[in-house]
Amino acid sequence: MTFSGSLLTAIDAPLLGVNIDHVATLRNARGGRYPDPVAAAQLAVEAGADIITFHLREDRRHIRDDDVVRLKAEIQVPLNFEAAVTDEMLAIIERTRPEHVCLVPERRQEVTTEGGLDVVGQFDRVQNACARLAQAGCRVSLFIGADLAQIDAAAKAGAPCVELHTGPLSHAWWDNDVTQLQAELTRLKAGLGHARGLGLRTHAGHGLALLDGLRPVPAGAPVSSTALVAALPEVAELHIGHALIGHSVFVGMRQAIADFKAESITARRDGTIHVLR
């Protein structure tokens, strides 16, 4: 599709959270002020982003503290503040009071978030964080794998939402490993259904991309990884960053957001998931 200035809408399509971390990464590569991730967030909102997602890391490798302050002051859609479960981050979130918070695992040496949060293994810490952030007026989500024990622990810890990690599915899609892709899709569906059965709101994200003709894609890939996940009716929100910002390099931010929204809407409407059955 071509962006025409009018936004596509669909009542039951997943909301799109646009992660702006990678704009900040580009800025920080030169140590200056451009490109400004807050300006990117403003443009994303104008183009139809439902949520702005960002991750303030311990080492401040992309988003910085002053970015967080400006995002809170200038962005009019809900902010989704991703952060590790540390006292420093919880204190910053309590001061900032974003609408949404997603608690994630974090290792300084990782390139991007690897795996899901181990709620079972650090239950007391996560439960205390959920209580603190709820008191601050934040809706808390836990970024976890589609593992039933972790989902049970998330519900017990008091988190109203979970975001299920789609990294393994995305990797299988890129590798054109249909067997693994089907296995990951089945696992994701089971996790979503289990979480919904516990009364949790269910989101998904990490590594999702488009079959857009602009980049190398798996040979014979039937649909995009974004479409496979967006087609699942349990998914209320998709949070996408790297592939969307990468796509915008070729087509611009407005068109990139229009393309990802159109992909989600079409997949939800047409039930693209059936292509793998």
Domains and CATH numbers, the chain: 15-276 (3.20.20.70)
Catalytic residue among 165, 194, 206, 239: 206
Active site residue 237: no
Q: Which of the following is catalytic: 22, 62, 82, 100?
A: 82
Cβ-Cβ contacts under 8 Å for 6 (sequence gap 6 or more): none
Say yes or no to pLDDT of 276 above 60.
Answer: no
At position 96, the amino acid (one-letter code) is T
What confidence score (pLDDT) does residue 34 get? Answer: 92
For the record, the structure tokens of 200 come out as 């949790």
d(CA 184, CA 132): 33
55 given a catalytic annotation: yes
Q: What percent of the chain has pLDDT over 70?
A: 87
| 146-160, 189-203, 241-255, range with the lowest pLDDT | 241-255
Mean pLDDT in residue range 181-209: 96
First to last CA, the chain: 27
How confident is residue 217, by pLDDT bands cut at 50, 70 and 90? low
Is it the case that residue 111 has pLDDT exceeding 80?
no
Confidence bin at 83 (pLDDT 50/70/90): very high
Task: Considering the candidates 22, 55, 62, 247, report the single residue annotated as catalytic.
Answer: 55
Percent of the chain's residues with pLDDT above 90? 77
206 is an active site residue? yes
pLDDT tens, position by position, 137-170:
999 999 999 999 999 999 999 999 999 999 999 9
Q: Name, in order, each residue with C-beta under 8 angstroms of 206's C-beta and a sequence gap of 6 or more.
A: 113, 165, 166, 167, 170, 239
**Residue partners of 243: CB distance under 8 A and separation at least 6:** 207, 208, 209, 210, 226
Look up the pTM and report it: 0.89
